[in-house]
Chains A and B, each alone.
Chain A
């Protein structure tokens, strides 16, 4: 075992840091949020030049054939700067799906422009009604002559507000809740049969709801095998969960550093707050939470792009549930130890607190991951490729 970063990884982190220092000062981020911009094209092009838009994609299409650990180190930095550009939805989820199950033709057409940052692609999967389960797909696709006709609604599409194209999941057989019978389609976001509504989330990022009736798509729009999209969706959601843990790690580390600095600066009762032992211990508990989370994240990152669905699911669920607790504790204590200042909108800390408050609801919450962890069966997972045999996702 070796836990140190490779030279390439160190160089990548340094370059990314330099880029973000220059292009992602808190004021600039705040301006984007206030201007209701879903993403900055300049930043996105910058990411392309740094090579991170093709991080794990194959070299054949212009990617870097990187590992889960590469994704982890990148996401940790994005978390420190609270980057709102939709990296996970575009790179980890959508491009990941194309690479996992797209045809050679799809890969050749789509991946190079995604990697160069020339176009954006995200998955439209979540449907809010009913209990949210990765197999909960009510959107219908039926064949009419040579074309597919889709009708349905998708909600909370991360990265949707800036997407040029969507991968839409739709039911081609079975009924909602069945794992079989889900198929992926690619569609242009400007297609006139799609109507949408953009709105902000708590952290200022902007998401999209869409609705479409009789959206007509050619047969080449099907990505992957008919009826068999569930396993790849589950796989990219696991990777996204891992990436969101890495992002939360960066956010927690920053919130923690801000808090320790504050304890040193702020004086009450003629001494700095950092001299009160009870506050020292609280800061220590924040630190321990972060270190433990970091450790499990490393395991999840190493398995997220691995061959065994079982190891992937097990390590991701372990990390995601531990992170839920850590994110809650660290963000709450960061506020508490700042006293009244911690309650202010204006303090940069507030953005980290909001980001961490959102963590549990995305990509499976603490309850889901803990119960998946305890119900996982190695043989079943590795042979079917399904890692949530009986359980469903309350929260995606």
Chain B
């Protein structure tokens, strides 16, 4: 066992830092660090920089254009780039459908889609959840019926993140009704500009537009867009979900937000001293920091186990649960630092071009909205209750 970073690993961290400082657009970094609204173009610019460097797909095998970094390298990259304000890349291509195609796709699919994911030409979204099928995903009803060389899709997906930005969607659809609901599900890829696809916005608690309903009426998709075998989409879908869960720990982002929290608390005065020196507040921060350190070590332990196996195990659920709890508590404490100043609701102040004055300090303006928005993290990607069910069943054998 060796639980400190080796010299090579430290060198790698320095290399990452150098690259990020040089290549991450400054305005994008500032928006991320100050919790301003992030647009598609912001993410795309960072994506392009990483693509050019050849670092866009750390977890993909080399033959498909990835870096084949090990778990420690990936972690270092995550932490270093987040610290400098790198925006979260869209996970749907790089972390979800990409690995699925590598594992289950046809040669043609790999040849066509993988380079487009790497270059950022395609923006993917995820069509899993339906109004009646959230946690119980396998009960999904969106239907695809074979008609010559096409599938004809009818139904509705919901909560689809950034469907308004996407040109491609991967969907789980029912191609056959069978006794066992997990059978008869297939995964298909669909161009968002196909006739019959309609995107309707859903506004979230914070007043922002991030998720959507996606409606399908008689949407024709060529049979070549089927991924894997017809009717066997469920196991593919689950493979994808376990990949979604590892990224979700968000250690890098939480470390950055913890540092920001401490910075804010050191500037905000309370009883003539910085809030950071208030014994109660200090204790809360310490508690959180210890949890984060434990999570970081767990990420490294779990991930290095994956390195030998390939597919992340159900332990990934621990990362999802702890990671999201920590992310949420960070938003709570940041809001507490701002106190009254977090209460005004001024969505225009979250824009980068805002030049007006907010009633309180500028940092406070987006904190309440961010707190509300981050409640999503314990719901999406399989709720934290479902993650506990997975651990109970698959790890504990209960």
Contacts and interface: CB of A to CB of B under 8 A. Distances in A.
Interface in A200-239: 200-202, 204, 207, 209
B205 interface: yes
Interface stretch (B1-9, B45-53, B72-80, B341-349): B341-349
A332 interface: yes
Interface in A327-373: 328, 332, 335-336, 339-340, 342-346, 350, 353-354, 357-358, 360-362, 365, 367, 370-371
Most chain B C-beta atoms within 10 Å of own C-beta, residue among A130, A268, A360, A365: A268
Contacts of B344: 156, 199-202, 207
Interface string B278-300: 10110000000000000000000
B203 interface: yes
Interface stretch (A76-84, A95-103, A107-115, A387-395): A387-395
Interface string A251-273: 00000000000000001111000
Contacts of A126: 340
Interface size, B (range)? 35 or more
Nearest to A131: B269
Q: Please report whether the interface of chain A is mostly helix, strand, loop or mixed according to DSSP.
A: mixed
B272 interface: yes
Interface in B159-216: 159, 202-207, 211
A268 B382 CA distance: 13
B379 A361 contact: no
A308 interface: no
A343 B136 contact: no
Contacts of A335: 205, 375, 379
A269 B204 contact: no
Q: Please report whether the interface of chain B is mostly helix, strand, loop or mixed according to DSSP.
A: mixed
B377 to A, nearest CB: 10
A247 to B, nearest CB: 15
Contacts of B158: 340
A126 B360 CA distance: 12
Contacts, number: 128
Interface string A261-295: 00000011110000010110000000000000000
A354 B269 CA distance: 26
Contact of A339 (B134, B280, B343): B134
B40 interface: no
A173 interface: no
A294 B16 CA distance: 54
B343 A156 contact: yes
A149 interface: no
B336 interface: yes
A5 to B, nearest CB: 33
B136 A367 contact: no
B270 interface: yes
B202 A344 contact: yes
Given A128-B359, A199-B346, A268-B136, A344 B339 contact: no
B121 interface: no
Nearest to A395: B339
A350 B332 CA distance: 17
B372 A357 contact: yes
A50 interface: no
Contacts of B336: 360, 365, 367
B135 A268 contact: yes
Given A128-B359, A131-B271, A268-B134, A361 B204 contact: no
Nearest to B137: A268
B154 to A, nearest CB: 22
Contacts of B332: 328
B368 interface: yes
Contacts of B272: 131
B129 interface: yes
A332 B268 CA distance: 26
Given A132-B339, A345-B206, 4 more contacts: A340-B129, A344-B202, A345-B204, A365-B339
23 contacts: A128-B359, A199-B346, A199-B359, A202-B345, A278-B385, A332-B375, A340-B129, A342-B379, A344-B203, A345-B206, A345-B207, A346-B202, A350-B205, A353-B205, A358-B368, A360-B336, A361-B340, A361-B342, A361-B343, A367-B278, A371-B280, A392-B270, A394-B339
